[in-house]
Structures are given as C-alpha cells and as structure tokens.
Copies of this chain bind each other. A is one copy, B any other.
Amino acid sequence: MMKEERVIEELRETVCRLHAELVRYNLVAWTAGNVSGRVPGRDLFVIKPSGVSYDDLTPESIVVCDLDGELVEGSLAPSSDTAAHAYVYRNMPEVNGVVHTHSTYASAWAARGEAIPCVLTAMADEFGGEIPIGPFALIGNDDIGKGIVETLNGHRSRAVLMQNHGVFTIGESPKAAVKAAVMCEDVARTVHVSRQLGEPLPIAQDDIDRLYDRYQNVYGQRSSR
C-alpha cells in the first residue's frame, strides 16, 4: 500500500471513530450529524456517507470527496451536508476538521437566531467569547458553507449556530472540531439553564481575553494539542 493510501485509511478510521463521540454526548439522533477530515496535503476530505446509522459506520463506509464535494472514492453517497463541508475546506485552509450536528440546546438558540453570551469561564477558554449566529440558508448550494465561513472568519469561536438549523464546528483536526461540538452543546445547555431562572452575570471583556489567551497557549499536554 502506498503511503498516501495509508494516510487516507487512517483518516477514515479516525473520522469513523469520532462519530461515536457524537453519539456518546447525545449530540445526534438517528443519522443527523456528521464529521469530516481533510486529507493532509491533498485537495480531498473524508466524510460520513448519507443516511447510514452510527452503529453501521465502518472505516470502509467513510467516503472520500474532492473540495467541490464530488465523490472520489467509496461505494455510498456522501452526506447531504457534504457541500457545506467542502466549501469550508476550500475557503479556510487552516481547517482540517468539520462537524455538523443538530444538538438540542445549541439548535434551540439557533432557532431563536440568538448568539450564546459568554457567561462561563469554560466558554471564554474554548470559544473566546460568544458563540455567533449564522444566516438562515437552504441546503442544495453553497449558501450554508458561505454562511459558516463568513461568520467564523476572523471570529475566535470555532462554532457557529446556523439559524433554524443546527451547529457547525471547525478545528485544526477532526478531533478538535468534535471537541468544539461537544463543548458548544455543553455551554449552550448550561447558559440556557442559567437564564431560565434569571440573568447570568456578565464576564468582563478583558477577563474573557485573558482566559482565552491562557487556554489556547497553556492547557493540556504540549504534544497533544
């Protein structure tokens, strides 16, 4: 097997396995959520096939697409969200992983078209401020992808709430994008619950800045960031 084939094979395994995290954290119902990962150094990415249940996902079932979202390798049709993932990879070269879910609390904020305010230190750490709202967009062309990129470009947040729809998260790796999806739902839920009984206290902008800066540069094992 050539080296490049091995890289794609390993990426398929990684992306297949990461879908189990969406299930574990209750971010998805039935087949409504997907993870993709860019093939390093190639204009390709791998993504979940459409309408396949998480139990039945195997590395082999993960399909390979080019950056126009066209199927390059695999026997199944790619996720119906493939065009949005492809648009992100085409326009954000620093992104190597994309995740899409309809997780409950994040989608509830999205249905109101309301950004999640940064009232938790964990939000400042992970998202550097509020989690923003992207536009309402129909599936079937580049509108969703454009909405993601225009909202996240130049924004600290790696998560965007697409209005009336759900969440897209991005990362320097598929795992980082999955982490952002998990943390996005976690803070969406906590801030929701907090606001049910009153108004959460704001965090001063310079405290948010300090928390974000520290977390991006200090947290975790240096080699495993």
**Chain B residues closer than 8 Å to A51, beta-carbon distance:** 219-221, 224-225
Most buried by B among A25, A30, A111, A114: A111
What are 21 inter-chain pairs, A to B, with CB distance below 8 A? A29-B183, A30-B179, A30-B182, A30-B183, A30-B186, A49-B221, A51-B221, A51-B224, A77-B220, A107-B194, A111-B191, A111-B194, A112-B198, A112-B201, A113-B201, A120-B165, A121-B139, A136-B203, A140-B210, A163-B201, A192-B196
The count of residues in chain A whose C-beta lies closer than 8 Å to any C-beta of chain B is 64
* Pick from B111, B113, B120, B221: contact of A190, CB under 8 Å: B111
**Chain B residues closer than 8 Å to A105, beta-carbon distance:** 193
Which residue of chain B has its CB nearest to the CB of A25?
B29
Contact B220–A164 (Cβ < 8 Å): no
Within 8 A of B (CB), among A145-189: 163-166, 179, 182-183, 185-186, 189
Given contacts A112-B197, A112-B199, A203-B136, contact A104 B190 (CB under 8 A): yes
Contact B112–A200 (Cβ < 8 Å): yes
Q: Please report the C-alpha to C-alpha distance between residue A32 and residue B195 in the assembled complex, in whole angstroms.
A: 22
Contact A197–B194 (Cβ < 8 Å): no
Given contacts A136-B203, A138-B207, A221-B51, contact A164 B120 (CB under 8 A): yes
Write the residues of chain A forming the contact surface with B, with a CB cutoff of 8 angstroms: 25, 29-32, 49-52, 76-77, 80, 102, 104-105, 107-109, 111-114, 119-122, 136, 138-140, 163-166, 179, 182-183, 185-186, 189-201, 203, 207, 210-211, 214, 218-222, 224-225
